[in-house]
Structure 1
Amino acid sequence: MPIVSEEYKEEKKEQILDSAFECFAKKGFQTATMDDIVAHCGMSKGAIYNYFSSKEEIYLDLLTRATDKNFAQYHKHFAKHRTASSKMDYLFNAYLSANPIDRNRLEYIVVFYEFNLHSTRDPDLLQQLHERKRKLVTLVNDIIQEGQQLGEFKSNIPSQLYAERFWTIIDGVNLHAVYDDFPYYDVLRELKEMYLDELKSE
């Protein structure tokens, strides 16, 4: 039996992941099936099951890769910022620089929130999403606590709560971005200003 290289395996996984996402975006996560992914991918069902046991596992891999990519980008940019304030400014600007009507971005958002709702019926999936969310909250919480230690942010601000609030803001504008008339940039700029004003020491 020929030896399959890791590079080959990764290429096949990428092929499956790309096909699966297109199926999820087109038909919806719950409606799309493994058979749809097989048909789109052009690989046999057995070959796909060598890599993934379910569409849930496929989506979690997609989500993990996207999260790891974002974290790498965040930390790369954080290394360029000397203050906690500038790090928070960068995080907001990362979303202000996004195109809210970009087709690929909207598809990702719809599939992401659809999967979140789907996971509420599966404790194991929900736990895995919760672990991802905890990492995101910790990312912002650490920045806020750094700002408090440096005297940039109010010391009496509950950092964990404000970290949760940050991602609630981002979730809210992302969800509303599916509406054509939603003023994405205006809303996010105002929320950013309000949020940072609440954090900053007087």
Structure 2
Amino acid sequence: MAPIVSEDHKEKKKREILESAHACFAKKGFQVATMNDIVEHSGMSKGAIYNYFNSKDEIYLELMRESTEQTYNSLKESILIFNSALEKIIFLFDLYDKGDGINIEDLSKTIVHYEFRLYSFRHEELNNKLNQRKQKYFLEFIEDIIKEGQYSGEFKSDLNPKLMADLFWSLIDGVTSQFVYKGYPQNEVLNEMKNMFINRLKV
């Protein structure tokens, strides 16, 4: 009779796999890192890892799901302190102000994230999942703030909330994709983008 494994034990092992995978992706890049790398880093057997995940695609999707949900829930809670839609937009832009510069861990996460997005472009199922994630956690989040600002009279009523949400994330993606270049004036560029975006919104 096979031993009974507790849910806590399963969760602990799953967490070890995810942490090992994250370390491998950050070190080698998503496409170069292999399941064997994850096996070696984790110290677990290949069979044990395949009990939880069928591929590194599944592993990365789980990492992304966890990160996205944690960030989304944190943002939803953080903006509750603001009384206006404009304050919320300013707060969200300022989150990407990295002060003295992005640290190595954030840079690694950013690079792996863009690698996976490019990789998913050639895999329809993965691409669909990323598009669903974008719509649920990112576009709708900004759309709701734009609609709030239109309802309160802060923002122009003739603006398309979905288009403005796409524009917001395009600006943010544009800045974060430049982190790899040394000397890139990210904070100055971000501030200019924020001012342009806000001027486009305001009545």
Q: TM-score range by the shorter chain?
A: over 0.9
Partner residue, 2:94: 93
Corresponding position of 2:22:
21
Alignment of 1:168-179 (within 5 A): 168-179=170-181
CA deviation string 1:114-134 (max 9, x = no partner): 000100111000000001111
Q: How does 1:140-151 map to 2 (within 5 A)?
A: 140-151=142-153
Assess, with a 3 A threshold, how the Cα gap between structure 1 residues 99 and 64 changes in structure 2: closer, same or farther.
farther
Counterpart residue number, 2:200: 198
What is the alpha-carbon distance in structure 1 between the residues aligned to residue 80 and residue 73 of structure 2? Answer: 11
* Structure 2 residue ranges without an equivalent (≥5): none
Partner Cα separation in structure 2 for residue 139 and residue 87 of structure 1: 11
C-alpha change, 1:55 and 1:84, in structure 2 (3 Å) is: same
Asked if structure 1 preserves the Cα contact closer than 8 Å seen for 2:99 and 2:187, the reply is no
> Aligned letter for 1:22?
A
Per the TM alignment, residue 193 of structure 1 is displaced from its structure 2 partner at its CA by: 0.9
Output the CA distance in 2 between the equivalents of 1:73 and 1:98.
21
CA distance in 2, matches of 1:20, 1:73: 24
Shift of 1:5: 2.1
Report the counterpart of residue 7 of structure 1 in structure 2.
Answer: 8
Shift of 1:100: 4.0
- Distance in structure 1 (CA, Å) of the matches to 2:42 and 2:128: 29
CA contact (8 A) 1:19 1:37 kept: yes
Name 1:37's counterpart in structure 2.
38
2:182 match: 180
Partner residue of 1:62? 63
Do the aligned partners of 1:101 and 1:178 also contact (CA within 8 Å) in 2? no
- 1:80 and 2:106 matched: no
Give the Cα–Cα distance (whole angstroms) in 2 for the partners of residues 36 and 163 of structure 1.
Answer: 38
CA contact (8 A) 1:38 1:48 kept: yes
2:133 corresponds to which residue? 132
The 2-side partners of 1:22 and 1:67 are apart by 18
- Please name the residue that 1:115 is paired with: 116
The count of aligned residue pairs is 201
Q: Distance in 2 between matches of 1:71 and 1:7?
A: 25
Instruction: Measure the CA separation in 1 of the matches of 2:53 and 2:91.
Output: 36
1:97, distance to aligned residue in structure 2 (A): 4.6
State the alpha-carbon separation in 1 of the partners of residues 199 and 3 from structure 2. 62
Q: Percent identity over the alignment?
A: 47
Matched-pair contact (CA < 8 Å) for 1:145–1:159: yes
What is the Cα deviation at residue 6 of structure 1? Answer: 1.9
Q: Describe how 1:159-174 pairs up with structure 2 within 5 A.
A: 159-174=161-176
C-alpha distance after superposition, 1:102-149 (max 9, x if no partner):
000000000000000100111000000001111211100110011001
Q: How large is the RMSD of aligned CA atoms in angstroms?
A: 1.2
Residue 51 of structure 2 is matched in structure 1 by 50
